[in-house]
A = this chain, B = another copy of it.
Amino acid sequence: MAEIIECVPNISEGAKTDVVEKVADRVRAVDGVKLLNIAPDAAQNRTVFTMVGDRASLKEAIDALFDETLKHVDLTKHKGEHPRMGAVDVVPFVPIVGATVDDCVELSKEVGAMIAEKYNVPVFLYEDSATASHRKNLAKIRKGEFEGFAEKIKEDDWKPDYGPDEVHPTAGCVAVGARPFLIAFNVNLGTNNLPIAEKIANEVRHIGGGLRFVKAKGFETDDPNVMQVSMNLTNFEKTPIFRVVEMIRREAARYGVSIVGCEVIGMVPLQAIIDVADWYLQLIDFSRDQVLETMIFE
């Protein structure tokens, strides 16, 4: 089974489509990397690239992405709604198949060291790659943005993990790190009572005393008779979808409320779907290799 890692670099250019295409072409030219999606946003002046590959090919792709992006993006002239500290702003690695978060941590360090050496850009390891707890959160690292980093990087707490103690004059600095796959998942409740959804969201989420890898918030929907618990599941292996749904189902029942539907927003790894089927069907010794398509493709 081949190793598949997802990489979702964000660059600080979302308006000039020719620049975005040049960067995309450089990534496409790397053997073993598949560019799945390009999401430019002109107002944010930022583009998110979604690609998959193995360690070696992704390292090469990020090298190419830096090389091309740094030719075109000058942060001293950059304006956009999205906060940013680098021309290439953030490079997250996410394990999909045949690789662990630890593998991605290792990869992020290799890539970080390479970027610092080849491009003289300071690198901050973040999320599971972070070297201190205050450096896990991307928003905290990025605070002050490109303009503020000339000073911030001098502070003891904000020495980069790789590269010079000085911000690159046009490319700023970059956050590189590993994190588990994030699943955006909503549970719709058959009630017109928003506080019920808000209360359940609070109870099921980590900060409210609930499940460790759940971020949740209660929302109204377009239908006045449906309220929503909207979630990010930040580690579906340790806090699986079915456990979250069944906890919400039970909590809702306490108010006489039922789940009327659930939504997966965006992508979900095959394993997360298999885990759901496995649990509800009480499967004995089921292996992902039994899914025909994995035999064909992996």
Q: Which residues of A are at the interface with B, using a C-beta cutoff of 8 A?
A: 4, 6, 34, 36, 52, 96-97, 181, 188, 241-242, 245, 259-264, 266-270, 273-274, 276-277, 280-286, 290-298
Specify which of B52, B263, B270, B283 is in contact with A261 (CB 8 Å cutoff).
B283
CB distance A292 to B280 under 8 Å?
A: no
Specify which of B266, B276, B297 is in contact with A281 (CB 8 Å cutoff).
B276
**Given the known A-B contacts A262-B283, A282-B260, A283-B261, are A290 and B277 also in contact in the complex, defined by CB atoms under 8 Å?**
no
25 A-B interface contacts by CB (under 8 A): A36-B296, A96-B293, A181-B292, A188-B284, A242-B280, A245-B281, A260-B282, A261-B282, A262-B284, A263-B284, A263-B285, A264-B286, A267-B290, A267-B291, A267-B292, A268-B292, A270-B270, A270-B293, A273-B291, A276-B276, A276-B277, A276-B281, A277-B277, A280-B280, A296-B297
CB distance A4 to B277 under 8 Å?
A: no
- The smallest C-beta distance from A276 to any residue of chain B, in angstroms, reads 4
CB distance B295 to A267 under 8 Å?
A: yes
Residues of B near A280 (CB, < 8 A) are 242, 276-277, 280
Nearest opposing residue in chain B for A188, CB measure: B284
Nearest opposing residue in chain B for A97, CB measure: B293
Main DSSP-derived SS at the A contact region: mixed
Residue from A181, A293, A295 whose CB has the most chain B CB atoms within 10 Å: A293
Residues of B near A181 (CB, < 8 A) are 292
Task: Give me 9 other A-B pairs in contact (C-beta within 8 A), A34-B296, A270-B270 excluded.
Answer: A36-B296, A96-B293, A97-B293, A188-B284, A263-B285, A267-B291, A267-B295, A293-B293, A296-B297
State A285–B263 Cα separation when bound (angstroms): 8
State A274–B278 Cα separation when bound (angstroms): 11
- The smallest C-beta distance from A2 to any residue of chain B, in angstroms, reads 10
Residues of B near A270 (CB, < 8 A) are 270, 291-293
State A292–B280 Cα separation when bound (angstroms): 22
